[in-house]
Amino acid sequence: MDFEKILGKCLEQSPNQEEALLLLQASRTPDKAIKIFAAACEVRDRELGRVFKLDSEIAPVAPCKIKPFCNYCTFSREVLTPEEVLEGLKLAEETGIADIRLSGGSDLTNDGSDVVELVRLVKANTTLRVHLNIGPVYSKENLVKLKELGVIEVGSSLETINPEVFKRTKPGDSLDLRIETARAINNTGLKLQSIIMAGLGSFEKDYIKHLFFLKELKNLSHLPISRFNPFKGTPMENRRRASPWEAARLCSVARLTLRTPDIRIAAGGGPDDIPLWLMAGGNRITSVFIHQEKCEPERFSGENPLHIRRNFIKNMEVVDRSSICRSFAEEAGFEVYPAQKQQQAAAPKI
Ligand code: SF4
């Protein structure tokens, strides 16, 4: 297969599975990668504009009942109360970010009724656009209710589509149920978000199989790509951190394959990844985190405390790195959503 020919085709249409694998393999070397990245950028700019999006997250809003926990996980075992979630929404509104994701743990025996109740409460108390990344096995009825409540996106993430890697790293979770739930969300007509984790142990052919599984789901609107990060005290603490290069290469081939979904720098990545991400066809990051104060205390410790705002308010921490994310994207010639004046208008007047 001719590399240049495939790349030319990708400007107009998605590659097939064989072509996508060839591109991912070719992207190991920078000379080829730069051409693939350029094609991915052309597709992103045409489909979505040269716009970098900021969103926010509040977590954990639901406990994780997976046993044993995933081998890389440091998610807080303490959950925000509904009152704290409402308090957190106000803090999120003050940052001026228009989209909030309610994130929580997984429960394979739960049909999502608790999530519906929480969303009812949240929607009655905020004008923010609500997204969900919580892990029950939603019933069809509850997905319809979430759609009626006006939820923007609902998540079901596989992290890896390789069954052996899944079993080894997520022994208490179920790949089949994650796939089934992703399909059910898609079939209800809700927008779907679904995470791929780079560096968990998936091979290049797994990434391509995973992307083509997601491509079947026409309502996929958001692909977060996380970078494996070994945390002390977890069973995977000795595994090497995933390279930003692996994540960026995956981002570029994901853009060429999937075309229109937002592709976000997810957990394990941060503002310093923005330039490479923008070069590889990505377009989104979470810039505001509101979380239970014990949630991942080390997660932001490498970031410059003068340029991210970290405030403890009651039982919660607000991490706001919008300003640095915004400036890194603007320096690279991107418009940022929400625009700064919208963000400033929402900030409390002191
Ligand atoms: S399902 Fe999510 S929250 Fe639960 S143990 Fe796994 S990674 Fe952690």
Structural contact between residues 208 and 233, judged by C-beta atoms closer than 8 angstroms: no
Atom of ligand 1 nearest to the CA of 60: 3
What was the pLDDT predicted at 315?
81
Compute, in degrees rounded to 10, the torsion defined by CA atoms 287, 48, 178, 160: -80
Distance between CA atoms of residues 245 and 346, nearest Å: 36
pLDDT band at 344 (very low <50, low <70, confident <90, very high): low
* Best of 57, 61, 64 for a ligand 1 pocket test (most atoms within 8 Å of beta carbon): 64
Atom of ligand 1 nearest to the CA of 106: 1
Mean pLDDT across the stretch 17-43?
A: 97
What was the pLDDT predicted at 350?
44
Neighbouring CB atoms inside 10 A of 47's CB total: 14
Single-letter residue type at 332: A
pTM of the model as a whole: 0.95
Residue 286 lies in a domain: yes
Residues flanking ligand 1, CB < 6 Å = 64, 66, 69-70, 73, 75, 105-106, 135, 173
Query: For 69-99, how does the pLDDT look when each residue is reduced to its tens digit (9 = 90+)?
Result: 999 998 777 899 999 999 999 999 999 999 9
The β-bridge partners of 292 are 316
pLDDT band at 67 (very low <50, low <70, confident <90, very high): very high
* Best of 65, 71, 72, 73 for a ligand 1 pocket test (most atoms within 8 Å of beta carbon): 73
Residue 4 lies in a domain: no
Atom of ligand 1 nearest to the CA of 74: 8
Q: Whose CA is nearest to atom 2 of ligand 1?
A: 105
Residue 7 lies in a domain: no
Closest C-alpha among 142, 140, 164, 163 to residue 151: 142
Taking all residues of the chain, what is their mean pLDDT, rounded to a whole number? 93
Distance between CA atoms of residues 131 and 151, nearest Å: 6
What was the pLDDT predicted at 314?
80
Q: Whose CA is nearest to atom 5 of ligand 1?
A: 69
Structural contact between residues 57 and 95, judged by C-beta atoms closer than 8 angstroms: no
What was the pLDDT predicted at 232?
87
Residue 260 lies in a domain: yes
Residue 247 lies in a domain: yes
Angle, alpha carbons 247-250-256 (nearest 5°):
140
Mean pLDDT across the stretch 170-178?
A: 97
Domain that holds residue 203: 16-298+306-346
Centroid of ligand 1 to alpha carbon of 320 (angstroms): 24
**Residue 92: both structure tokens together:** 């999120």
Residue 9 lies in a domain: no
**Residue 249: both structure tokens together:** 């290469």
Q: Which of 175-179, 212-216, 308-312, 324-328 has the lowest mean pLDDT?
A: 308-312
| Total number of domains in the chain | 1
pLDDT above 70 as % of the chain: 95
Q: Indicate if the pLDDT at residue 12 is higher than 90.
A: yes
Centroid of ligand 1 to alpha carbon of 76 (angstroms): 10
Q: Which of 75-84, 117-126, 189-198, 318-327 has the lowest mean pLDDT?
A: 75-84
For residue 136, give the 3-state DSSP assignment: strand
Residue 3 lies in a domain: no
Mean pLDDT across the stretch 225-238?
A: 93
Q: Which residue has the higher pLDDT, 133 or 303?
A: 133
Query: For 32-63, how does the pLDDT look when each residue is reduced to its tens digit (9 = 90+)?
Result: 999 999 999 999 999 999 999 999 999 999 99
CATH number for position 318: 3.20.20.70
Residue 2 lies in a domain: no
pLDDT band at 346 (very low <50, low <70, confident <90, very high): low
Q: Which of 15-29, 130-144, 181-195, 283-297 has the lowest mean pLDDT?
A: 283-297
For residue 48, give the 3-state DSSP assignment: helix
Q: Which of 24-28, 173-177, 344-348 has the lowest mean pLDDT?
A: 344-348
Angle, alpha carbons 285-289-292 (nearest 5°):
150
Centroid of ligand 1 to alpha carbon of 66 (angstroms): 7
Distance between CA atoms of residues 137 and 196, nearest Å: 19
Structural contact between residues 32 and 49, judged by C-beta atoms closer than 8 angstroms: no
Atom of ligand 1 nearest to the CA of 104: 3
Query: For 282-291, how does the pLDDT look when each residue is reduced to its tens digit (9 = 90+)?
Result: 999 999 999 9
Q: Whose CA is nearest to atom 1 of ligand 1?
A: 106
pLDDT band at 347 (very low <50, low <70, confident <90, very high): low
What was the pLDDT predicted at 309?
81
Closest C-alpha among 100, 98, 111, 104 to residue 145: 111
Q: Whose CA is nearest to atom 6 of ligand 1?
A: 70
